[in-house]
Structures are given as C-alpha cells and as structure tokens.
Structure 1
Amino acid sequence: MSETRNVRSGVFLPPHHGNNEDVTLCMQRDFELAEWLDHLGFSELWMGEHHSGGMQIYGSPELWIAAAAERTQRIKLGAGVISVPYHNPYLIADRIVQLDHQTRGRAMFGFGPGMLVSDAAMLNIVPDQQRARLVEGVDVITRLIDGEVITQDSDWFSLRDASLQLAPYSYPRPELVTVTSKTPTGSRLAGKYGLGILTHGAGNVDGSWQAAVEAGKEHGNDLDRKDLRVVVSFHLAESKAQAIKELDFGLEDWMHYLEALNPKSYAETRAKGGTDPEKLIAARGGLAGTPDEAVEYLEALWEKTGGFGTIVLTGTNWMGFEATKRSYELFMRYVLPRFNGSNARRDRSLEWVFENRENFSGANQAAIEKAVAADGRT
C-alpha cells in the first residue's frame, strides 16, 4: 500500500464496568489502561459522564482527566462528553480553561445533550429541553473561552458581565468537539463554531459530516476531515475463536445494561444477533475477530464514510483486562500500520533488497575473497 493516510488512533471509555466488581478497583484499572494506551502510542482517550445505571461510573470526566494526565506523558485526554444541560455553561468554560493549563494542552472537550434520560430525570430536565440547552450552552462556552464578556438570561442560567479570568493555554482555544447521533444538532454546532465531530461508525457518518460542512459554510468556517472522529467497537485476538471466547467476560452484562437503557435498541440487537456474541457485536456495527479482519473492516468504513481523521475504539469491557490490553496492542502493532500504509517504505526497501539479492550477495562474496587474498591467507 502507498502512503495515503495519516489516521490517528483513539479509545472511548463510556466506561462500562460490571456491577459485580469493586468500583474503586475499576477506577484504578481505567488509570492503568490510560498508561498502557499512552505506552502503545494511541493519540487520544475519551471518558464519559454519567450519573445513573451503575455501570458507567464517572460523574465528572474532568476529574478523571486531571488524575490521568499526571500518570501519562503524550496521550490527549478528552471529556466525552460533558453533558452541557446539566451544568452552568460558565462553570464548564472555567473548568475547560483550568484543565487546558493543568495538562499543558492535552485535554479535549466534547459536548452533548446527555445520553441517559435517567440522568436528566433526576435533574428534573425533560428530554425535549436537552438539545436546546446544548445549543445555548455551547454558544456561551465558546464565546467565554474566546474572551467575550457575556450578560445573558436563560430559563436555566443567568450571567452578568461574565468573563473568564484566564486565557486558555492552547491557542486559540482547546480542542472542542460535539457528538452526533440521531439528530443533526451536534453537526450544526460543529459547523457553526468550527468544532470537531465524534460520531459512531454504524451511523450516517457522511451525512453528519455534510451537515456540519454546510453549517460551517453558513458561518464562514472551513471544516477539515482530520477533525472527524469515527467510533467503532473492536475486540481483536490472534484468532476469531479466541476473540469470541473472550467476550464471555462481560458481553451479556452489557446487553442487560442496554436493555435497561434502551429496550427498543436491545430488542433490535437481539433480533439480529440472538445469543451469538459475534453476531451481537456485528449488529452494533462492531467486530470480534483478527487484525486482518479489522483492516478489511476499516477499509470498508473508509469507503462508506468518505474518510476521517481518527478511528476511536469503544472501551466496552466486554473482555477481561488482559485481553482488552492485548486487543489494543494488536490494533497498534498490526492494524493501524497496514491501514495507514506506514510501512510502505520498509516494504519497498525489502523488495529492492530481495530483487537484487544475487548481485548484492555476489559483490559481498567477491569483496571477502579479495580481502582474504590481499592478506595472503586462504
């Protein structure tokens, strides 16, 4: 393959942890995973915000980022996402700038309306309020980070001559993204404010991107596909049979959680996959298999989406910790290099040496014989 791509690698941790495990140890394992991904050379790692259901255990991705940043060296760490309707947008902006300084620019920030209806219910927020609040909140957050002084009244916050006392560490501002799913809200926000996009590979990625591009043109922003992140679920092992067997650890627990969150989505997934682990993952747009299969999957995804800047693997905890780490290692060792064509020059060099092996070997042997003769020994 020629050198045609420079796709980055990331991991998205919702996270999912079985309710039968000790939560403190789960948190420590997530920090260990961050260190492992940093060691492997992953570009970024995202952590979600959730407040109910028991399985997704972090209410503040920002707190997690602050701790993970002290344990890692290069990997960028993202809040994926901050549920904007749950917070005063001024305080979100203030935390963003603080973390931008604490991490020296390694923190990223995603914005969404809030995934779990149960979270919103506890805060007495009805679902049809969430996207409108997301739009209003992102507007305030970006303007504050950009240095504006804001006076604004809303049905959920009120600001008077509000401004941030610190400028960002990153210029002109930290990396900000929106999440897109079933509505165009996130795409339009990305286009309007020049933000990146985080979207799922099983959905209409190209449609989401085009909606963002169109909104960007309306507001004078030229978007770049390098800022498009596509999320997929992979579990890789040396053989397909091994990959599927390792799903025994946590796939059914995750399916039970899906049933609690979204009975309709659960029923659709069961209808397609039954109790077959491989089919269940495929029904969710994912893959359980080998590195070779993952390369084929990504090539098809590239064609389907029109291209992207980062492939983000979902950290589902379907597998045990060692199998999870091995899956990420296989991806970085064997999948991403082939997909990106990053070994093309090595392949060319090997091919050239192989094609000229007789000439090179003969010349080397002649040089040896000449040296021996000159030394007067046989």
Structure 2
Amino acid sequence: MRFSNFLFPESRSPATDGAILDEVMQEIRLSEHLNFDAVWLGEHHFDGNCCYVDPITFSAAVAMATSRIRIGYAVAQTSLHHPIRLAEQLALIDHLSKGRLIVGLGRGTNYNVYDYEGFGIDPAEAQARFEEAEDIMLRAWTGEPLDHDGRFWQLKVPALRPGCYTRPHPFVIRSASGEASMVALAKQARPFLMSVQTNAVTRQRLSLYRQTMAGAGADEAGIAKVLDQCWAWRNVYVAGTDAEAEAVGIPAFIAMHEQRAAMRNRIAQERAVGMGQERPGMGNRIDPAQGLVCGSPATVAEQMSELAETGIGGVIITFRLGAMPYEVASESIRLFMSKVVPQMARPLAA
C-alpha cells in the first residue's frame, strides 16, 4: 500500500494566509524527503478552510519545488472550471512535473453552496457540467481539432498546445463519496478515490466494487490492477502514546470540522440556501471514533495494516488537522514514516 499526504491547510484569518502557504511548502518538501509516494491537493473557496484555494495553480509551484513525489488532486472541482483552460493548465503542469500528475476530478463539494455562488454557477448543474467537462478534456488531450456543441460549452479548438507530457494524457481518477457512484465506476472498470470511512465500511465497499467489476466481465487480474490504482482517505495523528495522541488529535479533529461547517451553517441560516441533504454516512466522518486514526505508532500501524489487507492501492492521509500548528503536524508525519510504516512490514502482536 502506498502512503501519501493530503494537504488541506486551514487559515483562520486573512492575516495568516501567507504564513500558512509557506508552511504548506515546507510540509511538501518534508513529504518528499520522507519518501511519501504522493502529495494531494484539494479545492475549496472563500472560507480559509483550504488556504491555497486553487490546486491547479498551486501544483505548478509544487512541481518546481520537488523532483520525485507524485502530485494529485483530491479533487479539482471540475464543475467550476472551463474545460479547455483546465486541459491546457494540466498539460502544462504535466510537463513541468515530468509526468507526476494524478488528475483527481469531481463535481465538487456536496453541500458548500457558496463555492458555486461565488463563481456564478447553479449548483443543480454541477454533475452535468462535470460530465461534459471531463469528456471535453479527454478529447482535447488527443491533440486533434475539437468541435463541441454541448449543453454548457460550444467550442472550436484547432488543437491543444502544449500536448501532454504523459501519453495519451495524465492519469485520471474520479472521487466516489457514495456507494452508488462507486458502483457506477466499477461497471466501467475505473479506479476511484474513497472518502473517509472506517475500515469496516472500506472492506464492505471494496467487496462490492470487486463483485461489480466481476459481474461486468473483469477477471481477477484486471480487478487487482484497477484496485491497485484506488486510494482511500484517512485522518491520522500519531504521538508517543495513545493518551498523548488523543489529547492533541481529538480536539484538533473536532475543531477542524466545526470550522468547516461554520460558513455553510451561517449561509443556511441567513439565506436558507444549501445543496440538499448530506450523504449517508457523512455524520460518521465527523465523529473521532469513526473519522480519525489516532494513537501510538503501534495503534496506528494496526489500523493501517487492516486497511492494507483490503487490497486498496494507496492511502491519502491528512496529518495536519485544521488549525493544528505545523510543528505538531510535522512531528506526527515523522513518527508515521519512522515508527508506523516499519511496524507494518512485519506481523503485529496478537
């Protein structure tokens, strides 16, 4: 199982944005130094919950500051972007990174309506825009002239320049927060990014994923190959003992989710607008018992080993929980790579 670091850094005030951005670059360099397989960037606007805001622009800086580590999006909110502009930007960053991109695409957040309002986009159109945009991007990356007459875009593109460094294009993966979207991707033999879930839910969903792929005609080798390209997301905090980890990690986790809910709750109260009901299981992710792996190296290694046994290819880990100081998060990161990962390489005590 591959290990990666998901950087979703919170900045509580505009006055701290610049300092937090500097710390994110430090964390990225640390991740490469410690031999993580990838760093992941998210996209979220207007509330400081993700201080770099635009993962596409930021990933260009990441590409130039690193040399080996892969760079993923978890996810780029495809519905908020013009597909040709996005295809151009990603082709350019594919060159700058020399083929290290993992292009995670999604329709965007399920319930922060202000992301869409700020860009003048009807949130009810989000999924349809996403589907049309992805199709345009894949066609544009062929390097052939593109004529497109769709619901949202009417385009005549002579040819995309530059072409992609990776042929035929960077690796593309979709998010699948719900079971239905995961099943739809399994029918197409497409890998997916899984949102935060317990190990029990992860096992159940991956079992369904395998069954669905087999029912669509995939053999065992094909299923294993696609599953190896899938990633699961976890929030992790490691300290010397379980008690030390819980004393820091649990309050940070709770405060992170309270902050993430603040803007959406305020807008819902002021204007009575939102994006409908939260998905089933969303409440579990804000419960530390369900959404946080927290403890000593031995405790965290046990949880990570259980995840590895599901056969999933990689884990996307958020180490810096909300407004947690960088120095605290970086120590957790170092402990994970120096103490947790080595324990996973040998059988754990019963």
Instruction: Calculate the TM-score normalised by the size of structure 1.
Output: 0.75
Count residues in correspondence: 325
Cα distance in 1, alignment partners of residues 250 and 289 from structure 2:
16
- Mean alpha-carbon deviation: is it higher for 141-150 or for 324-333? 141-150
Aligned match of 2:289: 282
Shift, 1:317, TM fit:
3.5
User: Separation in 2 of the partners of 1:21 and 1:166?
Assistant: 37
Of stretches 113-122 and 153-162 in structure 1, the one that deviates more from structure 2 is 153-162
Q: Does 2:326 align with 1:330? A: no
Question: What is the DSSP-based 3-state SS (H/G/I as helix, E as strand, rest coil) of the residue aligned with 1:101?
Answer: helix
What is the CA distance between 1:172 and its match in structure 2?
3.1
Indicate if the aligned counterparts of 2:250 and 2:288 stay in contact, CA closer than 8 A: no
Q: 1:90 to 1:19 in 2, by over 3 A?
A: same
Q: Which residue number corresponds to residue 43 of structure 2?
A: 49
User: 1:280, CA displacement in angstroms?
Assistant: 4.1
Aligned to 2:127, the other structure's residue is in SS state: helix
Distance change in 2, residues 1:161/1:18 (3 Å): closer
SS in 2 for 1:293: helix
Contact 2:99 2:165 in 1 (8 A): yes
| d(CA) in 2 for partners of 1:89, 1:190 | 25
The counterpart of 2:197, out of the listed 202, 205, 217, is 202
- In the alignment, the residues of structure 2 paired with residue 155 and residue 120 of structure 1 have an alpha-carbon distance, to the nearest angstrom, of 18
Instruction: Report the counterpart of residue 271 of structure 2 in structure 1.
Output: none
Residues 187 and 238 of structure 1: is their aligned pair in 2 closer, same or farther, counting only changes over 3 Å?
same
The code of the aligned residue for 1:281 comes to: P
Secondary structure at the counterpart of residue 224 of structure 1: helix
Find the residue that maps to 2:75 and give its secondary structure.
strand
The 5 A counterparts of 1:104-253 are 104-115=98-109, 116-182=112-178, 184-185=180-181, 188=184, 192=188, 195-202=190-197, 204-205=201-202, 207=205, 210-211=208-209, 214=212, 222=222, 224-247=226-249, 250-253=252-255
Letter in 1 for 2:131: V
Asked if residue 309 in structure 1 is aligned to residue 307 in structure 2, the reply is no
Superposed displacement of residue 84, structure 1: 0.9
Greater Rg, structure 1 or structure 2? 1
Structure 1 residue 340: deviation in Å?
4.1
Helix, strand or coil for the counterpart of 1:108?
strand
- Deviation string 1:105-141 (CA, Å, 9 cap, x unpaired) is 1222110111132101223333332112212211221
Aligned twin of 2:82: 88
Structure 2 gaps of 5+ residues are 266-276
Greater mean deviation of Cα atoms: 93-102 or 320-329: 320-329
Greater mean alpha carbon deviation, residues 204-213 or residues 330-339: 204-213
The 1:125/1:288 distance shift into structure 2, 3 A limit, reads same
AA partner of residue 31 (structure 2): L
Distance 1:15 1:243, change over 3 A: same
8 Å contact from structure 1 (residues 228, 309) kept in 2: yes
In structure 2, relative to structure 1, the CA distance for the partners of 1:248 and 1:176 (3 Å cut) is same
Aligned with residue 72 of structure 1, among 66, 71, 91? 66
TM-score by length of 2: 0.81
Percentage of pairs with the same residue: 23
Which residue matches 1:298?
Answer: 304
Pairing partner for 1:28 from 22, 26, 51: 22
Pair 1:217–1:30, CA change in 2 (3 A): farther
- Per the alignment, in what secondary structure is the counterpart of residue 141 of structure 1? helix
Cα distance in 2, alignment partners of residues 220 and 95 from structure 1: 34
For 2:262, the aligned partner's letter is A
| Contact 2:9-2:323 within 8 A present in 1 as well | no
Q: Corresponding residue for 2:326?
A: 321
The separation in 2 between residues aligned to 1:153 and 1:90, in whole angstroms, is 14
Aligned-pair Cα RMSD in Å: 3.3
Equivalent residue of 2:120, what SS?
Answer: coil
Relative to 1, partners in 2 of residues 1:122 and 1:67: Cα closer, same or farther, differing over 3 Å?
A: same
1:56 to 1:240, Cα distance in 2 relative to 1, 3 A: same
CA pair 38-212 structure 1, distance change in 2 beyond 3 A: same
Amino acid corresponding to residue 207 of structure 1 in structure 2 = R
